[in-house]
């Protein structure tokens, strides 16, 4: 056999080998991926998302999926003639609306994601924050114009028990978590923003990465006037920006800040409208969206490090 024979699959082998340093570095690490309701409306994107997550799992990482479903909840509330209202970026959740939120997230969106992931094997297990006391909350009362406002059954996370998720990860499964919390106050449940839930879980699980998929390219520097995306910012830089942010970006970026301030190495906001955005983000050095990193540690001898992550 000629030693010089050209194998047609060589470029594929090279691509796999290029990924080797990344795979070695991230082997066994936990990555929490938040799949947003707005990125979840296209069938092909959903299937590609499931492939990416399963790929990560087979590559030796431990993915945990936390999902939203805002648009899907809106549609069901509409169908039932119930009004949707948001205050401080959160859904005003009456007891009737809470039933709809729970039914749509746990009964519809989560089931669909579990089904898509399990087309690739017996991997995904769905749960909500209610299960095994995974997420506990009390009533959240946002301050609007200086006043504490009652927005119904919206929860503020007070405790996370990672036991059930860890057990699933140890068993090689992919947990798929709906953002509903058990109540510390009564026997009912609370509606939690899915970005907030994902960030809290990432911190509690000591995840290496929080990845938030959404329907924009990342954090725009001057939204809605320009589409320049901020590619990288530190926790302190983000903290300064927070008061200027609006709508859905508020819980997302607050969540990223919480994550990197609590042990997560990077929090990334990426465009879920791009097919295979998870793999693109991971395998391109500079990433495709916005990356938040902790502040550089201060060295007592040399002062703050520059440009490290």
Ligand X SMILES: CC(=O)N[C@@H](CCC(=O)OP(=O)(O)O)C(=O)O
Ligand Y SMILES: Nc1ncnc2c1ncn2[C@@H]1O[C@H](COP(=O)(O)OP(=O)(O)O)[C@@H](O)[C@H]1O
Binding residues: 69-70, 91, 191
d(C-alpha 30, C-alpha 208), whole Å = 6
Q: In this structure, are residues 182 and 130 in contact, taking their beta carbons and an 8 Å threshold?
A: yes
Q: By CB under 6 A, is residue 36 in contact with ligand X?
A: yes
| Number of residues that make up the chain | 309
Q: Which residues bind ligand Y (CB under 6 A)?
A: 36-39, 68, 70, 195, 214-216, 219-220, 223, 245-249
CA distance to 36, 50, 114, 137, 194, per residue, from 277 (Å): 13, 11, 19, 32, 19
Partner whose footprint covers residue 245, from ligand X, ligand Y, none (CB < 5 to 8 Å by kind)? ligand Y
Partner whose footprint covers residue 91, from ligand X, ligand Y, none (CB < 5 to 8 Å by kind)? ligand X
Residue nearest to ligand X (CB): 68
d(C-alpha 288, C-alpha 271), whole Å = 8
Burial of 263 (0-12, 13-18, 19+ CB in 10 A): middle
Interface with ligand X by CB under 6 A: which range of 8-16, 35-43, 264-272, 287-295?
A: 35-43
Residues making up the annotated binding site for substrate are 69-70, 91, 191
Radius of gyration over every alpha carbon of the chain, rounded to an integer in angstroms: 20
| Nearer residue to ligand X within complex by CB, 63 or 70 | 70
Tokens 């009004």 belong to residue:
83
What is the H or E stretch that residue 177 is in?
Answer: strand 174-183
d(C-alpha 287, C-alpha 265), whole Å = 15
Smallest gap from Cβ 179 to ligand Y, in A, equals: 11
The one among 32, 65, 101, 207 contacting ligand X by CB under 6 A: 101
The contact mask relative to ligand X for 170-189 (x = CB under 6 A, - = no) is: ---------x----------
Smallest gap from Cβ 238 to ligand X, in A, equals: 19
Q: By CB under 6 A, is residue 102 in contact with ligand X?
A: no
Q: By CB under 6 A, is residue 194 in contact with ligand X?
A: yes
Task: Provide DSSP, 245-264.
Answer: --TTHHHHHHHHHHHHHTT-
Q: By CB under 6 A, is residue 106 in contact with ligand X?
A: no
Question: What are the residues binding ligand X (CB under 6 A)?
Answer: 36-38, 68-70, 73, 90-91, 101, 154, 179, 191-194
């Amino acid at each position: 056999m000629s030693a010089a024979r050209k194998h047609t699959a060589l470029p594929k082998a090279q691509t796999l080998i290029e990924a080797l340093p990344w795979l070695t570095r991230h082997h066994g690490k936990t990555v929490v991926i938040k799949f947003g309701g707005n990125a979840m409306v296209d069938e092909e994107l959903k299937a590609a998302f499931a492939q990416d997550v399963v790929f990560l799992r087979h590559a030796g990482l431990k993915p945990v999926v936390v999902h939203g479903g805002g648009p899907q909840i809106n549609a069901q509330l509409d169908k039932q003639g119930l009004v949707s209202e948001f205050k401080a970026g959160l859904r005003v959740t009456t007891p009737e609306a809470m039933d709809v939120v729970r039914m749509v997230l746990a009964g519809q969106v989560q089931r669909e994601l579990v089904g898509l992931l399990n087309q690739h094997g017996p991997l995904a297990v769905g749960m909500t924050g209610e299960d095994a006391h995974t997420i506990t909350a009390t009533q959240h009362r946002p301050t609007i114009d200086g006043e504490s406002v009652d927005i119904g059954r919206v929860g503020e996370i007070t405790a996370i028990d990672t036991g059930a998720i860890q057990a699933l990860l140890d068993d090689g499964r992919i947990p798929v978590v709906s953002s509903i919390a058990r109540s510390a106050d009564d026997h009912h449940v609370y509606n939690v923003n899915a970005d907030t839930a994902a960030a809290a879980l990432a911190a509690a699980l000591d995840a290496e990465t929080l990845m938030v998929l959404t329907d924009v390219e990342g954090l725009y520097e001057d939204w809605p006037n320009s589409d320049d995306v901020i590619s990288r910012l530190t926790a302190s830089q983000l903290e300064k920006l927070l008061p200027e942010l609006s709508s859905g970006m508020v819980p997302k970026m607050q969540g990223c800040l919480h994550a990197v301030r609590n042990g997560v190495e990077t929090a990334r906001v990426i465009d879920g409208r791009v097919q295979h955005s998870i793999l693109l983000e991971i395998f391109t050095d500079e990433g495709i969206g916005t990356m938040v990193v902790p502040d550089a540690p201060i060295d007592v001898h040399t002062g703050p490090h520059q440009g490290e992550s």
